[in-house]
Amino acid sequence: MTFDFDPPDDAPVWLLPAIFVLDQWMGRNASPRESIASPANRRLPSEDRALLMKIAYGAIREERRLSWALGETIQDLDRNGRAAAIVLAEAFMQGALELDDARHLFVRWSQVELQWNSLLDVEEAILEIEDEVQQFALSHSLPDWVAQLLLDEFGEDSELIARSWAETPPRAIRANRLRIADRSALALRLAEAGISTVRGRHAPDSLLVSGDASLFDTAAYRDGAFEQQDEGSQLVALVAAPPPRGRVLDACAGAGGKSLALAALLNNAGRVLAIDVHKGRIDDVKQRAGRAGAFNVTAEVVPEDHWPEAIATFAASADRILLDVPCSGLGSWRRRPEARWTLAPHDLDKLEQTQRELIDRAVLALKPGARLIYATCTLLRRENETQVEAALARHPQLELVRIAEILGKETATPIADATGTFLSLRPDRHGTDGFFAAVMRKKK
């Protein structure tokens, strides 16, 4: 079925871009973030750009639930027809369009009638489903296997976690003390630019940004006074606690957020070596380090299956090795709603194998007295505590260092597990992304 876009003159300006984002994600698995950030969309007024992001991400997140509500006929549509239907339905659910307006636009485009009125009582209809897993999956728009995973591991808390994935994540930034005195000075500078902030709850350099103002157009950003970084990610760097003038290997650096935070904790002394298997990410690290004034950061691309001799030599001299390992990423699903559809059950086994290999590689290089920080942005015990327990069993020369010993009991209690051993963050409890971290030391 051919879908002919012909929006009326009074159609919202964000509507077609939102449909395009969903269409490109459905057809090419294109990054929603990159599609939204296209040059044409950046020219939209800030209010429309914010609605575009809200509706597009919401449509991706709610795709299963909305398709179910609109009825089986939606499966007869071509890809862009389905994308249009889901975006229009999500726009109604978020109050951006009236239901009749959404229906009339879709019929005008497709000449197809869907079950639009079912959107009015979709929650009540889902509650009539007898199968617990399917009811939970449809209620929160999840694959059945993810719903089963949550229910098995978290029980009653599954509802809280799934609801948190539908919330808008906070816009958290870290005051870069290499460029500005502290977060109070940064808050004042941003206020002068018309941007309102409040202090983060947990990380000492964090601010939470109010509203939709563009941070990256500010002089403070150009001057390197802050980095956009979730509080949970900031806390992982804090838990690493590099010693004065210490040497740190950030072995899964990504785009370098934690590397830059570690450089600031070291006050530009010592050395941080950031490595990753993706050249594009390492290029980002170098660019960000220059803007941040983090002159003690160097960055290198490495192969997936080993560390070259120079990297291994540095690792053997490092005081800290940070492994923010590849993981299922359930802790960041507020920011990446598409991940619920791209992660497959067999991916977990592959990820766990990669995690074990990275731990073993780091332990082999770790010098006596040095610490290995194992971190993830997932909520699953099998990728977190279970991996640490297995690592301690494989490597009896390792011992745990409790988070409460590193940060102090008062600071650690709100962000650690009940024993004070691990960093344990959940979006529904802490307002951060979900993060886990364990600190292991090689015995002298």
What are the E-state strand segments in 105-225?
171-175, 197-199, 206-209
Integer Rg of the chain from CA: 23
Q: Is 327 a catalytic residue?
A: no
3-state SS, residue 91? helix
CA 190 and chain centroid, separation: 24
- Reference 66, options 41, 102, 31, 17; nearest CA is 102
Burial 94-128 (b: 16+ CB within 10 A, else e): eebbebebbbebbeebbeeebebeebeebeeebee
Distance CA 299, CA 279 (A): 10
Residue 372 is inside which H or E element, if any?
A: strand 371-376
Q: In sequence order, which ranges of 302-408 are alpha helices (DSSP H)? A: 309-317, 339-342, 345-365, 385-394, 403-407
- Answer positive or negative: Cα dihedral of 297, 300, 301, 304: negative
Given the residues 180, 377, 380, 440, select the one marked as catalytic.
Answer: 377
CA dist 435 and 37 (Å) reads 27
Alpha-carbon 276 to chain mean position: 18
Q: Annotated catalytic sites, by residue?
A: 377
